[in-house]
Chain A
């Protein structure tokens, strides 16, 4: 447990140190140094702490890595946060957001996970609204009200489960541990468990961005500062989905083996279908990335919903690769916004010629996101697709069609933005400095895309049983 407590305490060292008069001017450097220490602790916790289960060993370092990269990419001044006081405020709330994500990743209890996810809403909403521009305030309002309501619906599901536990004689918080729930699930009333699972799926699904509960997602992700969008898209959505999956696995003996899986499969499919047309017509790069995250969550939910070894390995691998690639792409998008003062595609054609560093990173990230072989999302997407074909060929063809359309759309987008004719008259500003975070994220994602599925395949029984 020592590592867990250290990991939960360490992020708060940064604001404390940064408040010291001697270090006050160092600001971001202090946060970055502490972030590196937190990353080290998250890896150490994954390796040495017996308090973490197999999923925790996968997710805690992931939150550590992406959080650390986000802190690196937050080297100011960020667009819309030029004021030094605003930047200090930003770094403080970024720490709070990262901490709440770590809490969710570390948790093995439904109640604590719910609290952590609710806390992520509050901490990240402050970051969404931090520029105080009209669009940002509007996005933050919608985000808080929709996600808070969604999470209250999830709380109703949690209360039902807790009530059933209490009637079975276990009215304790530890009775909501995923392993304890799984062990006693057969003693619970199946009908009530199914109702609770529906509430939990709808409630947590709001946070995941499942259609039709997704309306907050593109707004919040496009209006937040770019590094925060990376953490929101890359980590937060996946963590909420994993909590939902763990709950459904834990309660499967009561609800029936396919009930939870079918819910995930249904919502996953609907989300991919709804996200695809929006993805194809977007001109705003951050909204495009947000809709892509929605599509990715749908794809991962399909993988988890299919439930076979191949599908789950593909889905978990996709969570890791998506977290790295999407956060990297948001960092690049932040630099593009900083350089061109616009998020609209027609404003920065010919990126390879005008900004080669950003252009190449954008090209690499977008092609990875499109699933182009042999880039790292290809094997994980292929695993999900093959597993779906093995379960239901019709759904497999439908998903293949949607992924094909997305591939064509993203390829067109990449060509337009990187190879299109450059506009010499367009005024340029000092380029942003988030690209280094993107470079590191892609460098990690490239080998992991091929190594991870093998590793996950070997430890599948541990992952699927919560050990």
Chain B
């Protein structure tokens, strides 16, 4: 097993865990760990000064800023104390994504992008889908923010696999957009908590028709 394959498999593992964990605190920790993996991916797939600069940016954004913001939001919303049940449908979703990725990784992606990049591309797609699954299955607003960050992490890995990273301007823009979106969502979560007394997305149903 090569380093890059190990990184890809770890990426999938760090994407699966937040879907299955019922509490948010360990999920935020796993997200930070995934950020660390992405920094490593940036250097391994682009071993030059630009890759190192990107890795530093990823460390700052995905290992420090985003997990800190999520931690702060969850703590203020008292979301750490809450348990979110994982339903059988969620398990089914995880199994479905992993099977699809196994298929992609074994047959389709290596032929299209080469063995190493193909393996990472499949893992990236899995991470993206699992991030979307977190948004779709979680009720707490901070958990949905976590899902958004996981989805973006998956796409970041896809960029590294498909094109050895994006141009710096686009990379910076995507990171900045994610940070701004999460900041905004954190601000809105605070207002939801103040107005409703909870942060349950299922009960935000005042607007219909």
Interface residues of A (CB under 8 A from B): 111, 115, 118-119, 121-122, 125-126, 129, 132, 134-135, 137-142, 144-145, 148-149, 152, 155-156, 159-160, 162-163, 165-166, 171-173, 189, 192, 218-219, 222-223, 278, 281-282, 287
Contacts and interface: CB of A to CB of B under 8 A. Distances in A.
Contacts of B188: 125, 129, 137, 140-141, 144
A189 B209 CA distance: 43
Contact of B191 (A118, A137, A219): A137
A343 B28 CA distance: 42
Contacts of A218: 207, 209
B195 A137 contact: yes
Contacts of B206: 134-135, 138
Most buried by A among B162, B167, B196: B162
A227 to B, nearest CB: 20
B92 interface: no
Given A137-B192, A159-B159, A159-B162, A144 B185 contact: yes
Contacts of A159: 155, 158-159, 162-163, 166
A162 B163 contact: yes
Give 10 closest A-B pairs by Cβ, nearest first: A163-B162, A166-B163, A173-B167, A115-B173, A118-B177, A219-B207, A163-B163, A137-B191, A138-B204, A122-B180
A145 B144 contact: yes
Please report whether the interface of chain A is mostly helix, strand, loop or mixed according to DSSP.
Answer: helix
Please report whether the interface of chain B is mostly helix, strand, loop or mixed according to DSSP.
Answer: helix
Nearest to A118: B177
A162 B192 CA distance: 39
B185 A152 contact: no
Contacts of A121: 181
A122 B181 contact: yes
Contacts of B174: 115, 155
Interface in B38-68: none
A155 B181 contact: no
A137 B191 CA distance: 7
Chain B, interface size category, equals 35 or more
B1 interface: no
Nearest to A139: B207
Contact of A152 (B151, B164, B184, B192): B151
Contacts of B162: 159-160, 162-163, 166
B163 A152 contact: no
Contacts of B192: 137-138, 141
B16 interface: no
A100 to B, nearest CB: 11
Contacts of B161: 163
A171 B112 contact: no
A149 B207 contact: no
B123 interface: no
Nearest to B160: A159
Most buried by A among B155, B191, B196, B206: B191
B59 to A, nearest CB: 21
A149 B135 contact: yes
Contacts of A137: 188, 191-192, 195
B128 interface: yes
A58 B202 CA distance: 43
Interface in B182-208: 184-185, 188-189, 191-192, 195-196, 201, 204, 206-207
28 contacts: A111-B166, A111-B167, A115-B170, A115-B177, A118-B177, A119-B180, A125-B184, A129-B191, A132-B191, A139-B207, A142-B207, A145-B144, A152-B148, A156-B158, A159-B163, A159-B166, A162-B159, A162-B162, A162-B166, A163-B113, A163-B163, A165-B163, A166-B163, A171-B167, A189-B112, A218-B207, A218-B209, A223-B207
Interface in B113-153: 113, 128, 132, 135, 141, 144, 148, 151-152
A192 B112 contact: yes
A122 B164 contact: no
Nearest to B132: A149
Contacts of B128: 152, 156
Given A111-B170, A192-B112, A219-B207, A156 B185 contact: no
Contacts of A171: 163-164, 167
Given A149-B148, A152-B148, A155-B174, 4 more contacts: A125-B184, A163-B163, A218-B207, A281-B209
A126 B163 contact: no
Contact of B170 (A119, A149, A152, A173): A173
A222 B161 CA distance: 41
Contacts of B152: 152
Contacts of B170: 111, 115, 173
Most buried by B among A141, A166, A287: A141
